[in-house]
Structure 1
């Protein structure tokens, strides 16, 4: 009995040892396979794409889009509205931002007003920044486009309030500048200019108003006006720059516009006040030119008879050559006066 029991236990122990060896042998191989397959699986997988560069590109695009929109809005506002109009709209925005409420306003309404006013502070700051920047830019631009002063000439002496102001252009009116390769630039005087200036200085306040720089105007007039007939000189800094061209603004002369005459070979094209213009033929070195001398009788007549408004006199000559038309009118006037004298003499007989 005991021997059977011992035998059975030995058989059980041997069976267990064999089973353990088999189990170890089976499990060792799959373990290797599982490790190899895991490495293969990890090697076959691709890394997920990085989101860093894409996020940065989106941020760049958003920043560029915001800047472009702001720039477009600024450009449109500058084109469509004047500075005063933008200032008026900004004042309305400031009033809305204050969020004034009455004592009887509900708490909910007060809260809404507070939220609205807080949210509008950033746009208001942007508008104020735009206004300050635009004022600065327009002030700088105005320094180049507007005359250097609102009063280009000093006040007229009280005893000369009756005197007319004769404004003269320089190039192609009093002188002509010509350039040639062998001699460079030379400036020539128009025929009769000395007699013209010397005679009319007795009747007029003579002002030269040129669109050339002062570094050109001053040396030319120093040689041209050695007798001091010209009282004042105005150069390019005193002109108004419009659409790429320098215009004479006679309203800035600090003189009565009804007593101003502007003479130029390009009068209507160079002045902002065509009603004060006296056009003459532009001079380009013609030796037989007499345009300045031909104008003396008309200008002397105006100064001596002192019309209330010289602009109405000039309007009567519109579309005609003033010098020749004045001579014809003078002849007609003398003929009528002669007829009246003869008529009176007939009745006295």
Structure 2
């Protein structure tokens, strides 16, 4: 009775075969004897499986919905993980692209540091005692004087020359930095002096040969006649271009103007009145009214409102351009023109033959006798 109750409590079946008690148990289970009797039981309980109750349709739907939601969450989590992995991969790629070697970084930093130091030194050198007077120069001590004359002043001239060349070549320099300081190459005009200014390139008046130690000079036809009549109304300046050695200037001037009565003065390449073999449009450097300045040039024709180009003189030619041009220039002063540039425009950008025809047409149109002298 007691064994059966115990067996029922533990869900086991115990049988009796003679004087032996038998329990149908699984192997590896511990068996205990109670009170010397042949009562046996195990440490594990085996519960009979519960019968699953049939689920209602609503429960099934709820479970299906929860399963779907869980699947969606799992899918979203997977997608988010993939996106993060992609972003991490792209970030690593970008980092690898912009991963600059330390040598390049050090060289770049050294370069910019050098530029900063050099620009600072250049600025201080350029402005060292820049606008001091002559008296202040004499008061400089030996170190300052040596630095001023040996380093600061040459550096200033070198930088100014480069900047002026860039300014003349590229107009946007004037837009960025404003018009440059124009140095005057002629003294101020005398009160009551001549109204018009004539600047003539020496190649338009003569041909100079270098076959011997001493240059031979050939004058253009009518040169003396031309200069002698214009000097009454024009201040005339002779321009020596860079093709002529500097030590020959006085010698050539003497051959053209033996008595020193034609030319008011001389102009040299260093004055900057010509840029790249063309007369500068910055006529203010002459310190004269631009509307009353005439350039006579020998270079190939170019656009300039004050230039009359008569071509380079060749000794084997027989042109008479100076004689044909003389009455036209005399008429400018006779008419007392306020601006000669509109008249000059009729003789620009043309060949020698066309210039001769234009001069003749101009004389006939204005009823000017080619032999008429003031």
* 1:200-238 Cα deviation digits (max 9, x unpaired): 111211111222354232221122112321001011111
Q: Which of 266, 269, 272 is the equivalent residue of 1:236?
A: 269
1:133-212 superposed matches below 5 A: 133=125, 137=155, 139-142=157-160, 150-160=183-193, 163-171=195-203, 173-180=204-211, 185-212=215-242
Cα gap change, 1:134 to 1:63, in 2 (>3 Å):
farther
Are 2:199 and 2:238, in contact at CA under 8 Å, matched by a contact in 1? yes
Counterpart position of 1:261: 294
List runs of 5+ in structure 1 lacking aligned partners: 1-59, 75-122, 336-349
Cα gap change, 1:179 to 1:223, in 2 (>3 Å):
closer
* 1:54-97 Cα deviation digits (max 9, x unpaired): xxxxxx999876555556xx5xxxxxxxxxxxxxxxxxxxxxxx
Give the drift of 1:140.
2.2
Are 1:169 and 1:210, in contact at CA under 8 Å, matched by a contact in 2? yes
Structure 1 distance, partners of 2:290, 2:300, is 16
Counterpart position of 2:305: 275
Counterpart position of 1:224: 256
Counterpart position of 2:363: 330
Q: Residue 308 of structure 2: SS of its match in structure 1?
A: strand
Are 1:168 and 1:209, in contact at CA under 8 Å, matched by a contact in 2? yes
TM-score under structure 1 length normalisation: 0.53
Q: Which of 128, 136, 142 is the equivalent residue of 2:120?
A: 128
* Greater RCO, CA 8 A, separation 6+: 1
Cα gap change, 1:333 to 1:156, in 2 (>3 Å):
closer
Structure 1 distance, partners of 2:124, 2:277, is 28
Structure 1 distance, partners of 2:210, 2:258, is 24
Are 1:169 and 1:264, in contact at CA under 8 Å, matched by a contact in 2? yes
Structure 2 distance, partners of 1:165, 1:127, is 44
Are 2:198 and 2:237, in contact at CA under 8 Å, matched by a contact in 1? yes
Structure 1 distance, partners of 2:300, 2:288, is 19
Are 1:209 and 1:248, in contact at CA under 8 Å, matched by a contact in 2? no
Give the drift of 1:326.
3.1
Cα gap change, 1:139 to 1:264, in 2 (>3 Å):
same
Q: Residue 286 of structure 1: SS of its match in structure 2?
A: coil
Structure 1 distance, partners of 2:299, 2:277, is 12
Counterpart position of 2:322: 292
Structure 2 distance, partners of 1:289, 1:323, is 9
* 1:102-157 Cα deviation digits (max 9, x unpaired): xxxxxxxxxxxxxxxxxxxxx6x765334335676453243586799711111111
* 1:249-294 Cα deviation digits (max 9, x unpaired): 333111000000000111745xxx8100001021121241212111
User: Radius of gyration: which is bigger?
Assistant: 2
Q: Residue 318 of structure 2: SS of its match in structure 1?
A: coil
Are 1:239 and 1:246, in contact at CA under 8 Å, matched by a contact in 2? no
Q: Which of 302, 311, 331 is the equivalent residue of 1:301?
A: 331
Structure 2 distance, partners of 1:231, 1:309, is 22
Structure 2 distance, partners of 1:241, 1:155, is 20
List runs of 5+ in structure 2 lacking aligned partners: 1-102, 128-151, 169-180, 369-374
Give the drift of 1:330.
3.0
Structure 2 distance, partners of 1:230, 1:151, is 19
Are 1:149 and 1:238, in contact at CA under 8 Å, matched by a contact in 2? no
Give the drift of 1:328.
1.6
Cα gap change, 1:211 to 1:251, in 2 (>3 Å):
farther
Counterpart position of 1:80: none
- Corresponding residue pairs, total: 219
Q: CA RMSD in A?
A: 3.7
* 1:167-200 Cα deviation digits (max 9, x unpaired): 10012x11112233x6674332222211111111
